[in-house]
Structure 1
Amino acid sequence: MSKAEPKTLWEPSFNFIKNSNIMKYTEWLASNYDKDFIPTDNAKNNVEIYKNLWKWSVDNLEDFWESIWNFSKIVYHSQYKKVLENRQMPGTKWFTGATLNFAENVLRNVKVKGNDEAIIYVREDGFKKIITWNEFEAQVGSLSSWFRSIGIKKGDRIAAYVSQVPEAVIALFAAAAIGAIWVAVGSEIAARATIDRFKLVEPKLLIAVDGYIFKESTVKKTQDIKDIVKSIPSIEHVVLIPNLNINEKIDINKKTYIWDEVAKDLKEKPIFENLLFDDPLWILFTSGTTGIPKPVVHSHGGITLEANKAAPMHLDVSQNDKFLWYSSPSWMMWNTVVMGLLAGATSVFYDGSPMIKNLEPLWEVAEKESLTILGTSAPFLHSCMKIGLQPGSQFKLNKLRELGSTGAPLSPDAFEWIYKNVNDNIWLNPASGGTDIVSGFVGGCPMLPVWKGEMQCRWLGVKVEAYNSEGKPVINEVGEMVIELPMPSMPIYFWGDPEYKWYKESYFNMFPGVWWHGDWLMVTDRGSTIIFGRSDSTIKRKGVRMGTLDFYKIVESLPEVINSLVVEVKGKTFLFVVLKPGTELSDDLKNKINENLKKNLGPYFVADYIIQVPDIPQTFNFKKLEIPVKKALLGWDLNKAVNLANVINPEAFFKVVEAGKPFAEQIKEE
C-alpha cells in the first residue's frame, strides 16, 4: 500500500543539482563504471534515479565502496588487495592490505587551500580566532612531534576534556598523525562522569581547557581537572589549554604543560604514521543506557572512507563551504564538522550556549561568518519556532544554502516554519545516524525534493530497512530500524571487548547477523524516511547523550532517595523517586537533587519534573521499565506499552504512569 505523498516544500533547481557533488560523482560513475544514474531537470525522475542508485550501491557493495575510494582519490601508501574480505558483522574486513592515515588525507588540502581559513572559532563572548590551512598543518606538525618526544606512540590513548576550542581539532589530528588514539569528553560533562569514561581506556596524556563560557557565565574546570588526574593513574602528562586564562595553580603531581609550550615550533611538517585500514583512529562513548558507557573504536580507513561519502554526497560539503554544526566534543556531530575538513571546507565552531539572547547566537554566527551550511538540533529549531523567531528577516542569511537538523525527529510544523521564516529556497537536510558509525543512515541528498516531515532518502551504501515483528522489511509501515549489510565506519570493536561480547549484545541480539539500531523507522515507497523516536531510553539534552545509569548513581547516592527511574518525554526529563519512609518531596529536596545532577553530570541534565512514587517497576531480572514508562507517557495503549508478564510489580508501573501523566499531557498542550 502506498503512502500519501506529503506536501513538497522544496525542489532543487537544475543549477543547484549541477553544482552538487552527487552530480560530479554520478558523471564519474558513468565514465568509469558504465552506470547511468545522472540526475535530470525533472524532480520526479530524480526520485526514481536516486532509488536505483541506492539499490546499486547496496546490491554491489564492493563496487560502490571501491568507487568512493577511487572517486575521492584516497591518499594511501599500500594498495588494498581486496575491498571486502567478508560480510560478517561484527568482524568485517575492509580494504585488506591498504595502509593510509586519516590526518594525511585531510591535510593534503593544504596544497590547494594554503592561506585560506581552515578553522574559525567563535566564543560566546565575541572572541574569535582564525586558523589558516598553513597554520593548521604547522601546529599539527609541531604538536605531533612533541607527542613523540614524550614517548607517545601508536596505540596510546590521548584524552581530551575540552570545549569547542580549535586546539582540540589540532590535537586530534596530531594524535592521528602518529597513530595515537583520540578520546574526547566535552568539558560540560562533570568530572565524575568523565572519570567513568576515561578510566575504561587508560589514557597516557590528558589535554584539558581551563574553563569555558556558557550562558554568559564563566565555568572554571581546574578542580575537575585535578579530580580526573587524581582518579586515573595512567595519565603521565597534562596539557592545559588557557581558554579563559584562569590564573589558578593546578597541583596534580604530573608533568604539566601549557598549550603554547608544546605547539610553538611551527617549522616542522607532520610525519604521518603508515597505518592499516583497521588501525584505531578514535574512541567515542555510547550513552551508557544499560550500564557503563561503551568505548566504541573506529578505524582510520573506515572514517576516511565514510567521510568521503557522507560529507560530499549527503551534506554536499565542498572546498567553498563554511560549515558549522553546533555540537560538543562529547557528541559525534563534533567529529562530523571535523570531517568537513576532509572536503577542504572551512569548519566553524561556536563555543557557548545557543539558547541565550532569544536564541539568536547561531543565526548571528551564520550572518557574520557567511555560513553556507548550518547544522543544529531539532529541539533548538522547535524552540526557535515556539518563540516566533524569524531568522530570515532578522539576519542576513543570503549565503546559507543548507540547514541541517539531527538529534531528534524534526516535526512537520518545524519544516513549514523553516520555509516560511528562514528561507523558502533553502535545502533543509535533517539526518539520523549515530555515534556508533559517526555518520548517517538516513538523511538528505541535493538531487531530491524535500517533503514535509520526512528525510529525503536512505544514504548510499547503507542497507537500512524497517523490520516488522517477524524480522521482515516493510515499506510504508513503522518498524525497527536495522542495517542488513556492513559499513566501513561501523566500530572495529569496543575497547576491552576482544571477543565482541558487548558489541553483539548492543547491536545483534534482536536480529542475529543484522545490526539493530533502536529507532522506530518508516521507509516510504518514494524512498524517503521518517524516524519516530528512539526505542531505547537514552537521555539526550542539547545534543549530548547521557545514560540512565549516570542519573541513578547520582540520585540514589542521596540519603533521602531509595530508588529512581528517569525517562525523556518530548524533550523533558521525568525523574521518578522513591523516598525513605517519612520523607516528603519538598522544594528543598527537589533543588538538592537537581543541584547534585548539575554538579556531577553537568547543567544539561537537571530534571524538568521530579515526581514521588511508592515503587519503581522492574522486570524479573531487576531491570527498570524505562522504555515502557516512556511509551505510556507518550500516549501508547498500556497493553501495548508493556508486557506485564515480565514485570515483578505491575502495580508500580500503573502508579508511575498515573503520577507522570498530568505532566506529560501538559507538554502536549504547550
Structure 2
Amino acid sequence: MVEEGALLWEPSPEVVRNANITRFAAWLGRSEHDYDTLWRWSVDSPEEFWPAIWDYFAVVGDRGDGPVVSGTMPDAKWFTGATLNYAENALRGDPGRVAVVARDETGGRRTLTYGELAEEVARVRAGLVRHGVTRGDRVAAYLPNTPEALIAFLATASLGAIWSSCSPDFGASSVVDRFVQITPKVLIAVDGYRYNGRDFDRSQVVADIAARLPSLAATVIVGEPSWAALRSEPGPLEFERVPFDHPLWVVYSSGTTGLPKPIVHGHGGIVLEHLKALSFHQDIGAGDVFLWYTTTGWMMWNFLIGGLLVGATVVLYDGAATHPETGVLWELAAEEGVTYFGTGAPYIVASMRAGLAPTGLDRLRGVGSTGSPLPPEGFGWLHEVLPDVQLGSFSGGTDVCTGFVGGVPLLPVRAGVISCRCLGALVESYDPEGRPLVGEVGELVVTRPMPSMPVMFWNDPDGSRYQESYFAEYPGVWRHGDWIKILPDGGCVIYGRSDSTLNRGGVRMGTSEFYRVVERFPAIEDSLVIDTGRLGQEGRLLLYVTMAEGEKLTGELVAGLKAALRGELSPRHVPNEIIEVPGIPRTLSGKKLEVPVRKILLGTPVEQAANTGAMANPEVLKHFVP
C-alpha cells in the first residue's frame, strides 16, 4: 500500500539546471528556482507573463499595440489587435528534422519531416481551396489518429478555416449531434478502421453522417480517390494571419442537457497555452519525441499535436492500448526513443495490475497521466519500475484544452498528489459559499481568465450557454465541475467530477446523449445513467431503467441496449451493468437527480445526498443504496 503524499521522486540539480522553465526564469532575469514565486507572478501579473511567453518563444505574428487582457470573465479579451496563425507557428521547425512518426496496430510505420509535412499541408490546402473552403468555413473530420488527420487540420488552420474532429469509433448519431451544429463545408473521413485486432467497416456510418449534414459541399474519404484528388496538386504554403481570438477549432464537452457543447478555441490562446504547458510543464522541446495515447475525439489529440509548436517529434498511434497485450505502448515508446510518454490513468493502473516492468526506455524523462485521477498505487508502481522518470499527473479539460494543475521539473513527485497549479492558472478550491479552502475538498474554480478559455460556444450569440456552463454557480468565477483539495504547499489532489457529466477514458459525454438512445426503446419508461468514477478509479458506468407496463428487462433487451449505445455513442460508453428499478428519482420540476444518486452510490447517506422535500418521488432513493 502506497500512502498518499509519500515522496517518490525529487529533481536532481542537473534536472533543475537543464529544465526549460529554468532557462525561462533566467531569461526573465530571475535567478531563483522557486516555482511558487514564478507561479504567483504568472497569475498576479498576466499583463507581464503572457507577453513574456510570446516574446520568449518568438511567436510568429504581429502582437499589435492593444492591451494584453481587458475585461473580466466571462468576457475577457486577449491581445486585441494581434494577428497570427497556428499552422505558421507549428510548421516552422527544421525542414530536415522528423516531425511525425505514425504507428499502428499492424506494425505499420510512417515518418514525415517538417519539410515533408509542410509540403503535404500545402497540397491539402490547395485541395480545400478548390472545394471552396475559405476563412471561417468549417472542416469536419471523422478520422483516426493518423498523419492525414494532422495534415488536414494544419491545412484547414492555414486558411483561417475552422477544424472539428471525431474518432471513427463514435456512432453516427453522436457525430451528427456534434457536427450538425457547426454546418461544415467539407467532411474528411475514413470508411473503416482497425482496433483491438478487428477491422470495422464505417462506410454506411459515413454515408449516414454525410446525408444528415446538408451544409456539405464535399465528402472526402481517406484512402479513396477523393483523398488522392484533394492532395493531387502542389500549392503555395501560405498562412492567413487572423486575430488572436479567431476560431481555430471546435471541440465538444457535454453537460446533462441538450446537445454537446461546441467549444471554440482561438489561434492565439492555444498557441500561447500549449507553448507554455509543453515547454515548461512537460519540459518538451526540439529534439524530444512526444507520444500521448489518444484519439482524435479527445482533446489530448489537440494537445499532442501541439508538440510541433515546440519543435518536437510527435508520435501518432492508431490502435488499442492493450492489443495484442498490455505492454504495447511501453514497447512502442522504447522502439521510438520517446522522451515524454503520456496516457490515461487507467492504462497506468492496468500496467501495474499486469505486473509489467517496461524496459528499453533509456531516453524517457517524463510520463504524463490524465483523463481521470491516478491513485497513489499507480504513482508508486511507476516510480518502482522507472525510478528516474518524473511522473506528471495533470488535470484540466476539453474546455480549456490544457491542464489547470500538473507537474513541473522543479518540484518533487508525491504519491497521489499533483505537484502544482500550472503557470497562468489561478486555481482555487471553493466551498458552496464561494470561500477559498486550503487542505479541504471543494469545487475546482479558476478565478482569473486564461487565454485558452473558450472564445465562445458555437451558435451561442448572446453567450448565455457559455455563462450557464461555467459561471452560474459563482458569478465571474469559472467553476469547472471537479472536486479538488489544495494542500498548504500548493500540491493538489483531484477527486473526480462534482457534476453528472460522464468521463470515460478522458472523453466527456452528457447524460442527455445516453437518454436519447436508451429511451427510444419502447420497453424503457425512464432511465438514469451514473458514472461512479472518483479518485484513482475510472469507476463503473451504471444504467438504471424503469420498465414500461408489462415489460421485463430480458437478456435480449440488455444486449440490444448495449449494442445501441456502442453503435450510436462509443464503445467507451457501454454500461458495466443495467439495473431495473421501480422509479427514477426526480425533482418536483421533473429533473433527474443524477448528482445525488452518484453521491449515494459513493457512500453518502441518503438524507445528506438529496433534499427529499424537493423530490416528486423520494421513496425510490432506497433502491440506489449500495
The alpha carbon displacement at 1:311 in A equals: 0.9
Q: Deviations over 1:250-271 (max 9, x none)?
A: xxxxxxx5222222334x3411
**Aligned equivalent of 2:336, options 369, 390, 400:** 369
**Aligned equivalent of 1:410, options 371, 374, 386:** 374
Aligned partners of 1:574 and 1:185: how far apart in 2? 25
Code of the aligned partner of 1:477: E
Report whether the alignment pairs 1:280 with 2:251. Answer: no
Instruction: Using the TM superposition, name which of 507-516 and 589-598 deviates more.
Output: 589-598
Q: In the alignment, what sits opposite 1:344? A: 311
Aligned partners of 2:436 and 2:236: how far apart in 1? 51
Q: In the alignment, what sits opposite 1:145? A: 126
User: SS at 1:82's partner residue?
Assistant: coil
Report whether the alignment pairs 1:636 with 2:617. Answer: no
Q: In the alignment, what sits opposite 1:217? A: 198
Aligned partners of 2:4 and 2:525: how far apart in 1? 51
The alpha carbon displacement at 1:543 in A equals: 2.5
The alpha carbon displacement at 1:179 in A equals: 0.4
Q: In the alignment, what sits opposite 1:608? A: 576
Aligned partners of 2:277 and 2:236: how far apart in 1? 28
Code of the aligned partner of 1:230: A
Q: In the alignment, what sits opposite 2:109? A: 128
Code of the aligned partner of 2:32: I
Aligned partners of 1:20 and 1:78: how far apart in 2? 27
The alpha carbon displacement at 1:81 in A equals: 2.3
1:98-247, aligned counterparts within 5 Å?
Answer: 98-109=82-93, 113-242=94-223
Runs of 4 or more off by more than 4 Å in structure 1?
Answer: none
List gaps (5 residues or longer) in structure 2.
Answer: 534-538
Aligned partners of 1:316 and 1:647: how far apart in 2? 51
Q: In the alignment, what sits opposite 2:417? A: 454
User: SS at 2:79's partner residue?
Assistant: strand
Aligned partners of 1:290 and 1:445: how far apart in 2? 37
Question: In the alignment, is the contact (CA less than 8 A) between 1:481 and 1:520 conserved in 2?
Answer: yes
**Aligned equivalent of 1:57, options 28, 42, 54:** 42
Question: In the alignment, is the contact (CA less than 8 A) between 1:318 and 1:344 conserved in 2?
Answer: yes
User: SS at 1:15's partner residue?
Assistant: helix
1:12-27, aligned counterparts within 5 Å?
Answer: 12-27=11-26
- Sort the Cα spacing of 1:136 and 1:589 in 2 relative to 1 into closer, same or farther, 3 A: same
Question: In the alignment, is the contact (CA less than 8 A) between 2:10 and 2:413 conserved in 1?
Answer: yes
User: SS at 1:258's partner residue?
Assistant: helix
Aligned partners of 2:562 and 2:42: how far apart in 1? 49
Aligned partners of 1:94 and 1:454: how far apart in 2? 32
User: SS at 2:553's partner residue?
Assistant: coil
Code of the aligned partner of 1:18: R
The alpha carbon displacement at 1:360 in A equals: 1.7
Question: In the alignment, is the contact (CA less than 8 A) between 1:567 and 1:573 conserved in 2?
Answer: yes
Aligned partners of 1:107 and 1:308: how far apart in 2? 14
Aligned partners of 1:450 and 1:486: how far apart in 2? 28
Aligned partners of 1:601 and 1:315: how far apart in 2? 32
User: SS at 1:96's partner residue?
Assistant: coil
Q: In the alignment, what sits opposite 2:383? A: 419
Q: In the alignment, what sits opposite 1:555? A: 518
What is the RMSD of the two structures over their aligned residues, measured on CA atoms? 1.4
The alpha carbon displacement at 1:5 in A equals: 8.7
The alpha carbon displacement at 1:645 in A equals: 2.5
List gaps (5 residues or longer) in structure 1.
Answer: 31-35, 40-48, 246-256, 662-670
Q: In the alignment, what sits opposite 1:664? A: none
Question: In the alignment, is the contact (CA less than 8 A) between 2:531 and 2:540 conserved in 1?
Answer: yes
Code of the aligned partner of 1:264: S
Aligned partners of 1:580 and 1:568: how far apart in 2? 24
Question: In the alignment, is the contact (CA less than 8 A) between 1:163 and 1:328 conserved in 2?
Answer: yes
Q: Deviations over 1:478-534 (max 9, x none)?
A: 111100000001001100101110001000000000000011111111111110111
**Aligned equivalent of 1:624, options 589, 592, 598:** 592
Report whether the alignment pairs 1:469 with 2:450. Answer: no
The alpha carbon displacement at 1:144 in A equals: 1.2
The alpha carbon displacement at 1:24 in A equals: 0.9
Aligned partners of 2:569 and 2:131: how far apart in 1? 33
Q: In the alignment, what sits opposite 1:72? A: 57
Code of the aligned partner of 1:155: G
User: SS at 2:249's partner residue?
Assistant: strand
**Aligned equivalent of 2:237, options 261, 270, 277:** 270
Aligned partners of 1:149 and 1:610: how far apart in 2? 50
Question: In the alignment, is the contact (CA less than 8 A) between 1:37 and 1:50 conserved in 2?
Answer: no
Aligned partners of 1:509 and 1:160: how far apart in 2? 33
Aligned partners of 2:259 and 2:620: how far apart in 1? 26
Q: In the alignment, what sits opposite 2:489? A: 526
Aligned partners of 1:289 and 1:171: how far apart in 2? 32
Q: In the alignment, what sits opposite 1:666? A: none
Code of the aligned partner of 1:604: R
Instruction: Using the TM superposition, name which of 113-122 and 334-343 deviates more.
Output: 113-122
Aligned partners of 1:154 and 1:452: how far apart in 2? 47
Code of the aligned partner of 1:373: Y
Question: In the alignment, is the contact (CA less than 8 A) between 1:328 and 1:544 conserved in 2?
Answer: no
Q: In the alignment, what sits opposite 1:580? A: 548
Q: In the alignment, what sits opposite 1:43? A: none
Instruction: Using the TM superposition, name which of 588-597 and 641-650 deviates more.
Output: 641-650
Q: In the alignment, what sits opposite 1:542? A: 505
Question: In the alignment, is the contact (CA less than 8 A) between 2:612 and 2:618 conserved in 1?
Answer: yes
Question: In the alignment, is the contact (CA less than 8 A) between 1:288 and 1:550 conserved in 2?
Answer: no
Aligned partners of 2:325 and 2:126: how far apart in 1? 45
Code of the aligned partner of 1:51: D
Aligned partners of 1:588 and 1:234: how far apart in 2? 39
Code of the aligned partner of 1:653: L
Aligned partners of 2:251 and 2:497: how far apart in 1? 19
- Sort the Cα spacing of 1:5 and 1:531 in 2 relative to 1 into closer, same or farther, 3 A: closer
The alpha carbon displacement at 1:629 in A equals: 1.0
Code of the aligned partner of 2:215: S
Q: Deviations over 1:223-247 (max 9, x none)?
A: 11100111110011111112xx7xx
Instruction: Using the TM superposition, name which of 125-134 and 448-457 deviates more.
Output: 125-134
The alpha carbon displacement at 1:650 in A equals: 0.8
Aligned partners of 2:343 and 2:589: how far apart in 1? 39
Report whether the alignment pairs 1:355 with 2:322. Answer: yes
Report whether the alignment pairs 1:399 with 2:398. Answer: no
Question: In the alignment, is the contact (CA less than 8 A) between 1:338 and 1:347 conserved in 2?
Answer: yes
Q: In the alignment, what sits opposite 1:38? A: 32
Aligned partners of 1:324 and 1:289: how far apart in 2? 32
Q: In the alignment, what sits opposite 1:668? A: none
User: SS at 1:405's partner residue?
Assistant: strand
Aligned length: 619
Aligned partners of 1:174 and 1:544: how far apart in 2? 25
Code of the aligned partner of 1:619: T
Aligned partners of 1:354 and 1:5: how far apart in 2? 27
Question: In the alignment, is the contact (CA less than 8 A) between 2:399 and 2:453 conserved in 1?
Answer: yes
The alpha carbon displacement at 1:419 in A equals: 1.0
TM-score by length of 2: 0.97
Question: In the alignment, is the contact (CA less than 8 A) between 1:7 and 1:451 conserved in 2?
Answer: yes
TM-score by length of 1: 0.90
Aligned partners of 1:273 and 1:183: how far apart in 2? 18
Code of the aligned partner of 2:587: T
Code of the aligned partner of 2:490: G
